[in-house]
Every structure is written in C-alpha cells, then in structure tokens.
Amino acid sequence: MVVTWRRPKPIGERPVLMRMEAVDKAFRGGIVALREMDLSVHEGDFISLLGPSGCGKSTALRLIAGLMRPTRGAIRWQGAAEIGVVFQEPTLMPWATVEENVFLPFRLKGRRFVEVAEDIALALRLVGLERFARAYPRELSGGMRMRVSIARAMVTRPKLILMDEPFAALDEITRHKLNADLLEWKEKIDATVIFVTHSVFESVFLSDRIVVMAARPGRVLRELAVDAPYPRGEAFRTSADYAALCRGASAALHEAMGEPA
C-alpha cells in the first residue's frame, strides 16, 4: 500500500465529524472532571488534548467513545461514525496470538475469522507486523505490542481513532518511530485522530490542532494551530519551526498548570 499524502483542505472546508457542546462531567463526590468543554472535530483532523494530569483528558475521550454520558451539554455526531480506541496499555489477550487479538473487534460484531482474514492481514502489514501474526504478545517488545493494539483499533477502518497516551510507557526512540508511523497510518486509512498526551513535543509533532486543558475544574484553556505541512518526519522534528511551536505549546501548558512560563 502506497501513502498518497493529500494536501489537507482548510479546516472550514472539511465536514464536521463531531461536536462537543458545553459538556460538563461531574463524578460522585463533587469532582468536576470537565466544565463547559467545546470541541469541533473535522474529518481528517489530528487533534491533541494536552494538559497536566487530572485535567479531564481521559474523561473527554471516554465521553467521545460513548463509554460515559455527559452530566450536561451534548456530543453531536454528523452521521454514524465507527470508533477505534487505543489506551496506554496495549490490553492484549495474553493467551491469543497477534492475529487473534486483531480479530477481536470483528469477533465482537459476530464475524468469523475467515471472512475478515484479509482485513487482519492488511492491518498487520500496515503496522509492519505481518511476520508476527502467529506470535504471542509475550514474545513481542513493548513497541510491537502497541503496534498490535493500533492494528486492532484500525482493522475495521474506523473514521475516528481515540488514543489515550498510547506511547507514554515507551522509550524515546520507539516513541519517535511510532509518532512518524502513526501519521502515515492515519493518512493511509484516511482517519481522524484525537490523541491524549502530556508531552508538548509529541503533541506538536503529531497535531494540526492542540487543545490545551487545565485542571480543577477540567476545562479547555486554549487551542493552538500547528501550521506545519505533512508529511512530517525527522527533518520537522529538528527544525527551527518545530522548536518555536514547542515553545508556544510549552508556555500554554505552564499557564494551564498555573505556573509562570
């Protein structure tokens, strides 16, 4: 499969996929995990939610995934969108092979392996693990397990992929490689991504928009546009533009943490 990088249309010309409108989420005990969160997601976006721990990033993701309901406000979808989710832990079934793990979303829909074997092979080829289809998770490195987890999220070709600090536990070299690969995979399957991280560097490298959040109560502080073209690789990561964008995002994050930048 060859990547054909499209010139992204200006955001105003891309259809809206989902909108969060003044969403509150309160938990028992009075914790306000999110207050009045507004977020517009357009098809093809790569959005990062960046903020200190406890600012409601995971809560926002779980609300979008439909795993919880807002206390107030609404999440509006433009049509039905299939969603894939990736967590910080790869959450693979240890007793099942790589291909059986990637089969899971289809199995949950009542499909049989033979019907979707080709999709599974394609997803494994996408993430570079075609030779490990019959391996078990314990035989793989942390980075490879995360690749399996991403293949499982992408195997049904979802429109929207939600990722909650997926690379936080990986070493830096593996993380850089997965960052670059993720941009390529997103392009190949034509997905929209919402990516949670507390890393300024990761959010700038990946995103076209960064939503900076603050805690107590969890809220959106500001949105930053990362106006750098895709594809992005090591040349971008070492550029002066990247350094300047990271300084800007870092200042916003310090503000979110209530500290001087």
Q: Contact region for Mg ion (CB under 5 A) — 12-20, 50-58, 142-150, 216-224?
A: 50-58
CB 255 within 8 A of CB 55: no
Of 58 and 199, the one with the shorter C-beta distance to Mg ion is 58
| Closest distance of CB 165 from Mg ion, Å | 6
Site string for Mg ion, 52-71 (x = CB under 5 A): ------x-------------
Cα(137)–Cα(70) distance, integer angstroms: 35
Dihedral-angle region of residue 97 (phi above 0 means left; psi in -120 to 50 means alpha; beta otherwise): beta
Of 23 and 151, the one with the shorter C-beta distance to ligand ADP is 23
Of 126 and 215, the one with the shorter C-beta distance to Mg ion is 215
CB 228 within 8 A of CB 248: no
- CA 203 to chain centroid, in Å, comes to 10
| Closest distance of CB 219 from ligand ADP, Å | 11
Of 129 and 163, the one with the shorter C-beta distance to Mg ion is 163
CB 150 within 8 A of CB 166: yes
Q: Sign of the C-alpha dihedral, residues 244, 247, 249, 252?
A: negative
Site membership for Mg ion, residue 197 (CB under 5 A) = no
**The entry of Mg ion, ligand ADP, none that residue 59 binds, CB within 5 to 8 Å by partner kind:** ligand ADP
Of 53 and 238, the one with the shorter C-beta distance to ligand ADP is 53
> Which residues in this chain contact ligand ADP in the complex, by CB under 6 A?
27, 31, 33, 51, 53-59, 218
**Residue 167 corresponds to which amino acid?**
F
Cα(50)–Cα(165) distance, integer angstroms: 10
